[in-house]
């Protein structure tokens, strides 16, 4: 377990140093103790307790129903793994929109639970929130391009920055987030050229998802990387087929239970001869008492 801020622990300023040195930043989402542990052991630099948990853990149809309590629950599991990787907690819908005060209070709760930083979605409309959080000592990762929490007002989960005006507005938003004190920014589902321009324009690193190879780092949802989600989005790369591996393993377990092949020798334990004799004696006495 790496102590908060201890030797080797990755903190927000390390992300900026990595950009300066041209070292690519690797992030993945994590929602559980073992996901965090295995991703950290694999050498991932950052773990996002994303509001994508709404879909991949809870089976919601969007991220809108995700609550502070749900993110906190999963954040605690990730924190318990004591990762060296930076832990970023996603601010769920309605945890930062209502007022700056609510944003600071909710982000502060994430830090108290062990997050190293928070992420929130939006461009110019959240700049004052980012300023307030940074002023309160809370490191912030921005999130531009496709903002899934705003899918209802933008007309769905569409590719952003296809048109020059939209592309320019994304670049402007990313610059404003940097000026407001964000230490990095996620770019989601934009044309490659938009992400490349943002990456060139900013001193803070860009972490991309579905936005091409010209960014300072990449992030994917762990269920897509590992193939736990059998229908990953086209921009994700599946490095394992855990859905089918799990299905096969569970099918063999069910068949072993039904056939009596599980459990077998070594998978259960027995009483000593002496204790067994005593137990039989106790049972004989209680049975004869019950009859008599």
Compare residues 34 and 270 and give the one whose CB is closer to ligand KIV: 34
* DSSP character at residue 125: G
Query: Tokens 């780092």, residue?
Result: 217
DSSP conformation letters of 213-281: SSSSEEEE-HHHHTT-SSS--TTS--S--HHHHHHHHHHHHHHHHHHT-SS-TTSS----HHHHHHHHH
User: Are the beta carbons of 75 and 115 closer than 8 angstroms?
Assistant: yes
Q: How far is the CB of 219 from ligand KIV (least distance, A)?
A: 5
Q: How far is the CB of 55 from ligand KIV (least distance, A)?
A: 9
Instruction: Determine whether 188 is an active site residue.
Output: yes
Q: Choosing from 131, 188, 231, 265, which is the catalytic residue?
A: 188
Q: Which is nearer to ligand KIV, 88 or 111 (CB)?
A: 88
CA dihedral 220, 174, 75, 1 (to 10 degrees): 80
**C-beta closer to ligand KIV: residue 48 or 226:** 48
The least distance separating ligand KIV from the CB of residue 252, rounded to whole angstroms, comes to 32
Encoded tokens for 89: 């907690």
The residue (of 116 and 188) whose beta carbon lies closer to ligand KIV is 188
| In the complex, least distance from residue 265 CB atom to ligand KIV, rounded to whole angstroms | 45
Which spans of this chain sit near ligand KIV (rule: CB under 6 A)? 29, 48, 50-52, 90, 186, 188, 209, 219, 221
236 vs 233: CA distance, rounded Å: 6
Distance CA 170, CA 166 (A): 6
Catalytic site positions:
188
């Amino acid at each position: 377990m790496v102590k908060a801020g201890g030797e080797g622990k990755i903190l927000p300023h390390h992300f900026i140093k990595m950009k300066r040195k041209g070292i690519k930043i690797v992030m993945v989402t994590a929602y559980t103790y073992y996901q965090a542990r295995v991703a950290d052991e694999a050498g991932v630099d950052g773990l996002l307790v994303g509001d994508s948990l709404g879909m991949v853990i809870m089976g919601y149809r969007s991220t809108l129903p995700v609550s502070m309590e749900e993110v906190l629950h999963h954040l605690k599991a990730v924190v318990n793994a004591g990762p060296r990787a930076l832990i970023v907690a996603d601010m769920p819908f309605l945890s930062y929109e209502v007022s700056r005060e609510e944003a600071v209070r909710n982000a502060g709760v994430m830090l108290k639970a062990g997050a190293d930083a928070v992420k929130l979605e939006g461009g110019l409309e959240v700049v004052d929130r980012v300023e307030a959080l940074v002023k309160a000592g809370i490191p912030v990762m921005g999130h531009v391009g496709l903002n899934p929490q705003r899918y209802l007002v933008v007309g769905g989960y569409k590719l952003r920055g296809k048109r020059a005006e939209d592309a320019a507005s994304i670049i402007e938003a990313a610059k404003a987030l940097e000026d407001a004190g964000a230490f990095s920014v996620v770019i989601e589902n934009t044309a490659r050229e938009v992400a490349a321009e943002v990456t060139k324009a900013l001193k803070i690193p860009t972490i991309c998802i579905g936005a091409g190879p010209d960014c300072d780092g990449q992030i994917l949802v762990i269920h897509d990387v590992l193939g736990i989600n059998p229908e990953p989005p086209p921009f994700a790369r599946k490095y394992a087929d855990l859905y089918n591996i799990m299905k096969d393993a569970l099918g063999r377990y069910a068949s072993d239970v039904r056939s009596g092949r599980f459990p077998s020798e070594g998978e259960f334990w027995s009483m000593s001869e002496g204790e067994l004799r005593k137990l039989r004696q106790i049972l004989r006495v209680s049975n004869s008492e019950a009859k008599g």
